[in-house]
Structure 1
């Protein structure tokens, strides 16, 4: 009975760790291929977590799961299985079977299907700044985002919280929260409905609400990253003690993420350009870009640059921030 149970458990576990890499020095590593990019193969193992292997040090490899194989000068081809071959070679098995030199492979990425059960990812970054000179200044900021995909639906939630005190007196107190719901109709096209609200206790405009909807296009979304472009028609409402103002805008938004250096480094950029349908404001730009360095599976060091810009009545007002902090990712 113990032998039967052990065999059953091994059968269940085997598909999770079905990839094998043979090195030039004779060593063999088993795990799950995450991706190959930039000359580094990321392999997720049971015993050492995710390890990076120089592609030039690999003798051959095998994988039982589908992979998108990109060759030098060619588009990606889907391989249902990779089988070990001679030194410096691999056998690609799919619609057609052929031997391929490892030196010709520039990228391996597991395909991400549109109809998946569930995908959950996110980041939370924190920044703390304390100054002690003529004035005692304490500032802290939290920025986070998360997305959940199931089937043809995608939920995106992002938020920001900032507090600053100067000589024990609060001088900054604001927060922002945005929720977007996407419905995919094809692998690339989707429709978005979004709601955003922000409040600031020390600005003339105390509260801002934005409700928008429009089409989006997903250029790609895989283990290497993603690139989305969304166009929306929005209804904006600004509230203050003096007066309230409501108007329409047209906006375009991009969401970009790319893993570099064998997944150790992540570059990301988010930007939204709004064109208000009023004469007083020409455009409003809200953008950020940054780098995250992965210390391990969950810890990150982050460097972020923010640019918020408004132009109206012949004048441009810009607000720039440089943030260095730590965070977590999943």
Structure 2
């Protein structure tokens, strides 16, 4: 009976190892787990003993996976391999039916799980919420909800974001605004892209009640991988301002836009910052700044705690300046 139990354990152990993905390193190490993605020079593998581990692609000797993966040898086209088999140093075999193909690791640009409709779709995003109910000598209700999502396929990238803020004291609303933005990027090379965007903000309390911005311009993607991303762009904007007293301003401006995030401590902590610094081409205002800086701490694979600071500043307008700083602590989800 004891020997039969050992036999079953041995079979289960060997079976689990068969279905695990394996990566052989040039230094002789071997890692087993589940290959999640290869992008930006980093191979991400989930292991039961070390969590998500990023691996430098240049240090990989060969690898194996029984999962169906989309292997792209350039930025826009790829082959859906039913499995990946190990080969000689620096190569792998893409097994797909009766015609397996041996390829150089150096020629592979990306490995992802194929999607049902758009196979090379990479979709990620997050929703952050912060709620504060204070019942004391002064009752205060404070709400903040923000989201951001990015979808990329081939040469195109779609970015959508939005935010809602509301605060009241003793049933008197002191903050009530929302914002939404959509950007479309067309990659011209692996790094350079051209962006078009539209942005709308509505504030029911401040003197500057509406902001509409349409812009276009070039951008550069410094990196975008499983450990983070950083892009910097320049925009020519057309802005329309409406004030609560009925006044209006319309002008063109030049702006610098950035988007940065970086995972630290084994992807447990994320540092992020995004924003835009603009300068009008006439004298309607001196400059404008819309920026955020924050940290997220992952509680689970999808849930996180977040703390962030937001700055919204318009200096030198004819009607009135806008200068708001907001700090929030809350809970969020990510995918």
What do residues 229-274 of structure 1 show as CA deviations (whole Å, max 9, x unaligned)?
A: 1100000001134221111110001111111111111111112100
User: Which of 278, 283, 286 is the matching residue for 2:282?
Assistant: 278
Q: Find the aligned partners of 2:140 and 2:248 in 1 and give their Cα distance.
A: 33
Q: Residue 248 of structure 2 aligns with which residue?
A: 244
Q: For each residue in 1:276-296, what CA deviation from the matched residue of structure 2 results, as whole angstroms up to 9, or x when unmatched?
A: 122242111111111111111
Say whether 1:287 aligns with 2:280: no
What SS class does the counterpart of residue 64 from structure 2 fall into? Answer: coil
SS of the residue corresponding to residue 224 of structure 2 reads strand
**Alpha-carbon shift at residue 131 of structure 1 (Å):** 1.9
**Secondary structure of 2:134's aligned partner:** strand
Contact 2:208 / 2:322 at 8 angstroms: preserved in 1? no
Structure 1 residue 162 displacement after superposition: 1.0
Q: 1:208 and 1:157 mapped to 2: Cα distance?
A: 17
CA contact (8 A) 2:62 2:89 kept: no
* Other-structure match for 1:213: 216
Residue 267 of structure 2 corresponds to which residue in structure 1?
A: 263
Larger deviation, residues 134-143 vs 168-177: 168-177
Q: 1:50 & 1:168 partners in 2: Cα distance?
A: 50
Q: CA RMSD in A?
A: 3.8
Q: 2:273 touches 2:291 (CA, 8 Å); kept in 1?
A: yes
In 1, the alpha carbon distance for the partners of 2:207 and 2:321 equals 18
Q: Distance in 2 between matches of 1:83 and 1:166?
A: 64
> Which residue does the alignment assign to 1:64?
64
CA distance in 2, matches of 1:150, 1:54: 23
In the alignment, structure 2 segments of 5+ residues that lack a partner are 1-15, 66-70, 72-83, 93-107, 113-117
User: How many residues are matched?
Assistant: 270
Cα distance 1:176–1:143, how it changes in 2: closer, same or farther (>3 A)? same
For residues 215 and 62 of structure 2, what CA distance do their matches in structure 1 show? 47
Report how far residue 16 of structure 1 moved: 8.5
**Equivalent in 51, 71, 93 of residue 90 of structure 2:** 93
Matched, 1:197 2:200: yes
**Which of 323, 327, 334 is the matching residue for 1:329?**
334
Relative distance call for 1:113 and 1:253 in structure 2 (3 A) is: farther
Structure 1 pair 170–319 and aligned structure 2 pair: CA distance change class (3 A): closer
**Taking structure 2 as the reference length, what is the TM-score of the superposition?**
0.70
Match of 2:132 in 1: 129
Cα 1:62–1:120 shift into 2, 3 Å? same
CA distance in 1, matches of 2:123, 2:229: 14
State how far apart, in whole Å, the 1-side matches of 2:292 and 2:256 are. Answer: 15
**Aligned position for 2:11:** none
- Equivalent-residue separation in structure 2 for 1:262 and 1:223 (angstroms): 11
CA distance in structure 2 between the partners assigned to 1:239 and 1:53 by the alignment: 50
Aligned 8 A contact 2:61 2:90 in 1? no
Check whether the contact 2:129–2:144 (CA below 8 A) recurs between aligned residues.
yes
Distance 1:262 1:83, change over 3 A: farther
The structure 2 residue matched to 1:175, chosen from 178, 186, 189, is 178
CA–CA distance in structure 1, aligned partners of residues 19 and 124 of structure 2 = 20
- In structure 2, do the counterparts of structure 1 residues 248 and 116 end up closer, same or farther at CA, with 3 Å as the change threshold? farther
Matched, 1:119 2:122: yes
Q: Deviations over 1:174-197 (max 9, x none)?
A: 100000000111101111000000
Q: State the 1:228 CA deviation.
A: 0.5
Question: Partner residue of 1:299?
Answer: 303
